[in-house]
Amino acid sequence: MMKAALVQQVEKCIRQGKVRRAIRLLRQAADAGETPLLCYQKLAELYRMQRHYQRAIWALRQAMRHTTDRDPLRTLLIEVMMESGNWDGAVQECRRWLRESPDHPVPLEHLMDAYWHRMEFQQALEFANRLVQLQPSSPHYRLRRAQLLDDMGRRAQAVEEYERLAFDRDAPFEVAFLAQLELGRLDQQQMEILMPLLMEDPAFRLQFLHDPIAAVRQRGFRFSNAAEEMLTYLPEEVRLMNNQAKRHGGYS
């Protein structure tokens, strides 16, 4: 641990807003070989707080030289790179980590995030799938994959994944609750498209009257099971719209 006197001095400087002085104290201590690992970690934290990202990255790399347990520091390093907008650097660091530990979930998830941010969705999905394959029972990775599929416009797959999570008894409450919210959002968005379509498209309206579920799926909609069940009660209302359209010459 850092010497108690140094810790007290650094904390006092931070409380007084004298961050530069705290940084000087830490650098002097690290240069003198006084608990360099913890000094560099604290330096990285202060540099990051000031948004001096390159210095934070430097401090983290210095800290990594003084420990054999590098994973927590590598995680921070990648996060700082992403926070600074250095996505290429973050990707390189993740791939370097994976060469050493091919199935490590942290670099895999960060690679998914990096490609997702850059809208390189297919590559992001490859890493999302790999995470789920490595930890198939992890609700966290399944939720993230569902959100990615949602962003990609692959609605049917997203709905199916959200549906499984929403009713997974082993999923944490917050994951199941969020999946329910996402299902409700997708149902609402699709319903806002569906209703005008029923009013404006006579051919689709007739298909819907015959088989509502098949009709909406044929048009690319994919509702939750609960919403699809509700759709089966809509044909009667649609018939009323159909009759009104006939009376007003909506179609022949």
Domain ranges of the chain: 1-67
> What residue type is assigned to position 125 of the chain?
L
SS3 92: helix
Q: Which pLDDT band holds residue 4 (cuts at 50, 70, 90)?
A: confident
Report the alpha-carbon distance of residue 20 to residue 183 in Å, rounded.
49
Structure tokens at 214: 């098949």
- Contact (Cβ atoms closer than 8 angstroms) between residue 205 and residue 242: yes
pLDDT one-digit tens code per residue, 79-130: 999 999 999 999 999 999 999 999 999 999 999 999 999 999 999 999 999 9
Closest CA to 74 of 47, 112, 101, 49: 101
**Residue 250 CA from chain centroid, whole number:** 46
Q: Is the pLDDT of residue 1 over 50?
A: no
Report the alpha-carbon distance of residue 100 to residue 85 in Å, rounded.
25
Give the long-range contacts of residues 139-146, CB within 8 A, separation 24 or more.
139/165, 139/168, 139/170, 139/171, 139/172, 139/175, 139/176, 140/175, 141/105, 141/109, 143/175, 143/178, 143/179, 144/109, 144/112, 146/179, 146/182
- Contact (Cβ atoms closer than 8 angstroms) between residue 225 and residue 163: yes
Q: Which residue has the tokens 């799926």?
A: 217
How many C-beta atoms lie closer than 10 Å to residue 252's C-beta? Answer: 5
Report the alpha-carbon distance of residue 229 to residue 245 in Å, rounded.
26
pLDDT one-digit tens code per residue, 188-210: 999 999 999 988 999 998 999 89
Q: Could you tell me where the beta strands, DSSP code E, fall in the chain?
A: none
- Contact (Cβ atoms closer than 8 angstroms) between residue 231 and residue 223: yes
Report the alpha-carbon distance of residue 189 to residue 34 in Å, rounded.
59
Structure letter (DSSP) for residue 35? S
pLDDT one-digit tens code per residue, 230-245: 998 887 766 666 666 5
Mean pLDDT on 155-184: 95
Q: Is the pLDDT of residue 249 over 60?
A: no
Pick the CATH number of 1-67 from 1.25.40, 2.60.120, 1.10.287, 2.160.20: 1.25.40
Write the CA distances from 155 to 160, 166, 175, 177, 208, integer angstroms: 9, 16, 19, 19, 20
Report the alpha-carbon distance of residue 185 to residue 152 in Å, rounded.
16
